[in-house]
Structure 1
């Protein structure tokens, strides 16, 4: 594992986590729902600009394979959406994760694998600032 996946797995605190950005305002996340639609999962949540200035936020979606038969990272970035909000305003964000977002490449099996089981979905502003979580059985 390399990059943020290595730091997360080894519990090393980087100076700037993956996805970290600076802003003149602050954002809050709420109301996460997950709807499995065929071979995709649709995550819907609300992002609110709680600061005094307008600003942009990149909402990031990470997936953690809870029951993997192989060693997997604690979280992997699988989707994101950039939103621009005026001070005090909110918007509903939807991120679609196709079935491929839950697969991993298995060296043992020499191919892409989708193992059925539990996944944890994490939403936040960086790899170390995930504010909402939901469980999904695939």
Structure 2
């Protein structure tokens, strides 16, 4: 090798879980993204409440465009304070709605509180007494309505057993 050439080591790469050639690691299209010839709006028409083991969220969806269309209303929740690590946003319910131009529809999205259960420190599945952020939108990266509701603690009799060699 000529003396003017230097042997250059390739740069060391860290283990990453994205594409190394992209500066923006967010998804190209958000969950719920779709093409439509119309536009929609969403708003709360009442207070979110927890009753009989259900989280109920009343919303109004409006087709604000000039043609009929369909959309999917998505209900997400997030535990504000938790003893265990929780997801930033958890999809717990969704509903498809077809609307004519300039039409509105009132929906009540209902989700079982059991969908919020996680492993408690004593090994049972349940939910700690906490505030839960209730988020509603049409696309996962465009949440338009956010409110908070208190949730009582619940637990089930199911005990999670972690044994050697088991996987989750």
The TM-score with structure 2 as length reference comes to 0.70
What is the aligned-residue RMSD (CA, Å)?
2.2
Q: Which moved more, 1:22-31 or 1:116-125?
A: 22-31
Residues 1:67 and 2:62 aligned together: no
Q: Which residue, out of 133, 137, 146, partners 1:133?
A: 146
Residues 1:116 and 2:129 aligned together: yes
* Aligned residues between the structures: 129
Partner of 2:102, secondary structure, is coil
**Deviations, residues 9-39 of structure 1 (Å, cap 9, x unaligned):** xx95311112222211110011343132222
Partner of 1:101, secondary structure, is helix
Would you tell me which structure has more strand in proportion to its own residues?
1
Looking at structure 2, the residues matched to 134 and 19 of structure 1 have their Cα atoms a distance apart, in angstroms, of 21
Runs (4 or more) in structure 1 with deviation over 4 Å come to: 107-111
Looking at structure 2, the residues matched to 51 and 91 of structure 1 have their Cα atoms a distance apart, in angstroms, of 14
**Aligned CA distance change for structure 1 residues 83 and 98 (closer, same or farther; 3 Å):** same
| Kept after mapping to 2: 8 A contact 1:47/1:91 | yes
**Deviations, residues 38-71 of structure 1 (Å, cap 9, x unaligned):** 2212110100000111000100000101101111
Would you tell me which structure has more helix in proportion to its own residues?
1
Superposed displacement of residue 96, structure 1: 0.9
For structure 2, which runs of at least 5 residues remain unmatched after alignment?
Answer: 1-17, 19-23, 152-168
Residues 1:46 and 2:91 aligned together: no
- 1:23 corresponds to: 36
The TM-score with structure 1 as length reference comes to 0.84
| Kept after mapping to 1: 8 A contact 2:114/2:126 | no
Instruction: Name the structure, 1 or 2, with higher relative contact order (CA <8 Å, separation 6+).
Output: 1
Looking at structure 2, the residues matched to 108 and 15 of structure 1 have their Cα atoms a distance apart, in angstroms, of 37
